[in-house]
């Protein structure tokens, strides 16, 4: 047992099941006599000192009978589970061995059977096989089999695609041998883990059958049979149903808890660790922005509990009509910076910043509803994956229109017209028609443009585009970039364009901020990209192939890796990978203005 349950519920389930097994082993020798003793003077009694849970219609002790019945109940359930799982596994693996057509027929049959409720299959089988314990066991076994066959088939099919199976096939290993040597061992564990749940299902099913009089018959008795007998007198001695009913409930719960915790153990191996940590305080830096500044961020820091700080004291300014590119490798904190500006940092992250001003308004100075109104009307966001950014259940037009009705105060007709107009503006053909469609009817490029159109519904001051072209193919990328550029030029909004692709950024942006390990290391005009000074930016630019690149030599790469947000040290984070690094780099260089609009955080470059 590699996967003993560790959570309290799983332990409780294991405890209950262990108790049941003990009762099944030792119950009958201890209480079978008391359970069989007929006492005409104590018929159908309630609870008393001699009979804790009362007696049945023949004066037999109900507690002793319930405890004794554990063995038969569990035994029959085990038998039914074995029959069900064996049949199921056989049916589920048959398609692997049989000729293709026959295999399909088996799958179709299983699909058909799975649709039928278990009890119906059990009753059908019991009618055929007889109204006794044997019939009920066969019935419940038959009822369990289809689900197991489906499970086995699904897992077999998923394993069958693995490379090692393909290799075995190529080597000419016969199919039944591939099945027993390669497939079954790989799916054995989940199958076994599922048996705990199946056992619970079998126990409940058998009890139901016996309760209805289709299972165990007198003089034998399982819990279901006890329930059946007690139910016959329920108006006279209602308390008699309590003991067997509790036993069935307890067993059902026990197997469920155990099965659940097995399933959970199989699903994921470790729980995330970490406790709360205070967001680091930031020191305000005083200086007033230029009047046409749409976004001003000062000393923005995002921290997560456990010491991870993906964004460290980032300061950015975006002016009206300008696109600021934010470049960096994955993990450099660029997307988190965008999320923090949009106040969308995922829980449990904390934002600490001296100031975020959007259109000249300080976000910290607003109440929650004022902030929502401001962000809703003046900030537009475009995310990376257009296939998932639109709500699949709603029509495109409606998703656009709601921005205008909710934040812009437009009527429904106005909003709809505006949605069509905006779709047209982002160069979507047949905009009225498209507005009536669902997102899945649009191509990726159309969807991304629809998202941009959504951002343009109210006149935004700032557009944040987080890797808007990464998920698109190259020809569509250009289209989206052009639409973004046009939108900025027309609306005089500012844009923050986030990308890992320095070539794209250089093309579409006016200015560029390069991020590394949570900090901005260089900020420069896009036209000056080839005069970049920071060694990291130079390496990024240098890794780009252009027309003059010597194709016979490998492309330049940057040796080493960016440190994870959790273990950024005191000094310059790039020092480990930097050819210019010296002892000074153990102290972190500040971002300093070199010429006009060009700032660099490096000791070694001028």
Partner 1 sequence: MTALSDTDRGAPPRRSRRLTGRLLARRLLRLAGSLAVLVVASFAMIHLIPGDPLRRMLGSTAPKELVDQRRAELGLDQPLPAQFADHVRQLLSGDLGTSFFSSQPVADIIGQGLPHTLALAALATLTALAVAVPLGLWAAVRTRDGRRRGTETAFTTLTGAAVAVPEYLYGLALLLVLSLGLGLFPPAGLTGPASYVLPVTALAIAPAAMIARLARVETLRELDSDYMRLARAKRLPAWRLYAVHLLPNTLTATLTMGGLLLSGLITGSVLVENVFAWPGLGLRTVEAITQKDYPVAQAMILVYGALVLVVNFLVDLLIDVLDPRSALSASTTSGEG
Which residues in 335-374 contact partner 1 (CB under 8 A)? 342, 344, 346-348, 372-373
Nearer residue to partner 1 within complex by CB, 393 or 583: 393
Three-state secondary-structure class, residue 121: helix
What are the backbone angles phi and psi of residue 212, rounded to the nearest 5°? -80, -5
The percent helix, strand, coil of the chain (3-state, each to 5) is 55, 10, 35
Q: How far is the CB of 204 from partner 1 (least distance, A)?
A: 5
What are the backbone angles phi and psi of residue 521, rounded to the nearest 5°? -105, -20
Q: Angle formed by the axes of helices 396-407 and 412-425, to 10°?
A: 120
Please report, as residue ranges, which positions from 239 to 268 form the binding site for partner 1 (by CB under 8 A): 241-242, 245, 248-249, 252-253, 255-257, 260
Mask: binding to partner 1, 528-567, rule CB under 8 A, as x and -?
A: ----------------------------------------
Q: Find the angle CA(534)-CA(496)-CA(438) to the nearest 5 degrees.
A: 135
Please report, as residue ranges, which positions from 265 to 324 form the binding site for partner 1 (by CB under 8 A): 272
Range in contact with partner 1 (rule: CB under 8 A) among 77-85, 177-185, 380-388, 413-421: 380-388
Q: How far is CA 76 from CA 70, 140, 154, 199, in A?
A: 10, 10, 28, 10
Separation between Cα atoms, residue 135 and residue 129, nearest integer Å? 5
Closest CA to 35 of 161, 219, 183: 219
Nearer residue to partner 1 within complex by CB, 184 or 381: 381
Range in contact with partner 1 (rule: CB under 8 A) among 34-42, 167-175, 381-389, 495-503: 381-389
Please report, as residue ranges, which positions from 394 to 453 form the binding site for partner 1 (by CB under 8 A): 394, 402-403, 406-407, 427, 429-430, 433-434, 437-438, 440-446, 451
Nearer residue to partner 1 within complex by CB, 220 or 526: 220
Please report, as residue ranges, which positions from 451 to 490 form the binding site for partner 1 (by CB under 8 A): 451, 454, 472-473, 475-476, 479
Q: How far is the CB of 483 from partner 1 (least distance, A)?
A: 12
Binding-site size for partner 1 (CB under 8 A) equals 86
Please report, as residue ranges, which positions from 5 to 44 form the binding site for partner 1 (by CB under 8 A): 9
Nearer residue to partner 1 within complex by CB, 190 or 376: 376
Q: For the chain, how big is the Rg over CA atoms in Å?
A: 35
Q: How far is the CB of 291 from partner 1 (least distance, A)?
A: 26
Q: How far is the CB of 29 from partner 1 (least distance, A)?
A: 29
Mask: binding to partner 1, 110-139, rule CB under 8 A, as x and -?
A: --x--xxxxxx--xx-xxx--x--------
User: DSSP secondary-structure letter at 59?
Assistant: -
Q: How far is the CB of 70 from partner 1 (least distance, A)?
A: 17
Tell me if 591 sits within 8 A of 516, measured CB to CB: no
Residue ranges of alpha helices (H) inside 221-287 are 223-232, 242-267
Q: Which of 67, 381, 573, 585 binds partner 1 (CB under 8 A)?
A: 381
Please report, as residue ranges, which positions from 175 to 234 form the binding site for partner 1 (by CB under 8 A): 200, 204, 207-208, 211-214, 227, 231, 234
Say which residues have a Cβ less than 8 Å from residue 329's Cβ, sequence separation at least 6: 500, 516, 562
Closest CA to 360 of 311, 321, 317, 301: 317
Name residue, tokens 């005009």: 525
């Amino acid at each position: 047992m590699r996967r003993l349950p560790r959570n309290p519920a799983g332990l409780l389930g294991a405890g209950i099941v262990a108790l049941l097994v003990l009762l099944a082993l030792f119950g009958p020798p201890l209480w079978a006599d008391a359970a069989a003793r007929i006492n005409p003077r104590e018929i159908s009694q309630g609870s008393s000192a001699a009979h804790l849970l009362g007696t049945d219609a023949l004066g037999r002790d109900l507690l002793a009978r319930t405890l004794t019945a554990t063995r038969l109940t569990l035994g029959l359930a085990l038998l039914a589970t074995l029959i069900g799982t064996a049949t199921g596994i056989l049916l589920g693996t048959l398609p692997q061995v049989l000729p293709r057509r026959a295999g399909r027929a088996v799958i179709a049959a299983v699909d058909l059977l799975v649709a039928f409720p278990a009890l119906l299959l059990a009753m059908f089988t019991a009618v055929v096989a007889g109204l006794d314990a044997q019939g009920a066991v066969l019935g419940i076994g038959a009822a369990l089999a289809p689900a197991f066959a489906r499970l086995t088939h699904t897992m077999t099919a998923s394993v069958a695609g693995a490379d090692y199976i393909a290799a075995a096939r190529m080597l000419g290993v016969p199919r039944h041998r591939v099945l027993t040597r390669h497939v079954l061992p790989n799916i054995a564990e989940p199958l076994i883990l599922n048996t705990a749940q199946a056992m619970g299902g079998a126990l409940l099913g058998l009890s139901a059958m016996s309760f209805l009089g289709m299972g165990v018959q007198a003089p034998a008795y399982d819990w279901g049979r006890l329930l059946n007998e007690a139910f016959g007198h329920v108006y006279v001695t209602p308390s008699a149903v309590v003991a067997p009913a509790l036993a069935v409930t307890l067993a059902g719960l026990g197997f469920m808890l155990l099965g659940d915790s097995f399933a959970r153990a199989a699903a994921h191996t470790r729980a995330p660790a970490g406790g709360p940590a205070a967001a680091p305080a930031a020191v305000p830096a005083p200086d007033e922005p230029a009047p046409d500044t749409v976004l001003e961020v000062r000393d923005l820091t995002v921290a997560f509990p456990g010491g991870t700080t993906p964004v460290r004291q980032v300061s950015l300014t975006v002016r009206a009509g300008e696109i600021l590119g934010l470049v960096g490798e994955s993990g450099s904190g660029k997307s988190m910076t965008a999320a923090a500006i949009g106040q969308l940092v995922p829980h449990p992250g904390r934002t600490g910043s001296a100031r975020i001003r959007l259109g000249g308004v300080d976000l910290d100075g607003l109440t929650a509803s004022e902030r929502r109104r401001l962000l809703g009307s003046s900030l537009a966001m475009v995310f990376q994956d257009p296939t998932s950014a639109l709500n699949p259940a709603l029509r495109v037009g409606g998703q656009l229109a709601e921005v205008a009705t909710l934040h812009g105060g437009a009527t429904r007709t106005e909003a709809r017209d505006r949605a069509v107009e905006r779709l047209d503006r982002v160069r979507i053909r047949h905009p009225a028609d498209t507005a009536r469609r669902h997102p899945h009817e649009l191509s990726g490029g159309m969807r991304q443009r629809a998202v941009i159109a959504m951002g343009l519904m109210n006149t935004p001051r700032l557009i944040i585009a987080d890797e808007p072209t990464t998920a698109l193919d190259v020809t569509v990328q250009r289209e989206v970039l052009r639409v973004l550029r046009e939108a900025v030029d027309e609306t005089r909004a500012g844009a923050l364009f986030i990308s890992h692709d320095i070539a794209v950024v250089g093309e579409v942006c006016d200015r560029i901020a390069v991020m590394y390990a949570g900090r901005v290391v260089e900020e420069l005009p896009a036209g000056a990209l080839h005069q970049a000074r920071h060694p990291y930016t130079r390496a990024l630019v240098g890794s780009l192939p252009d027309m003059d690149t010597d194709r016979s030599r490998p492309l330049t790469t940057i040796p080493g890796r960016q440190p994870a947000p959790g273990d950024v040290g005191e000094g310059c984070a790039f020092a480990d990978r930097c050819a210019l690094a010296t002892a000074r780099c153990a102290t972190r260089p500040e971002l300093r203005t070199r010429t006009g609009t060009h700032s660099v955080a490096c000791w070694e470059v001028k």
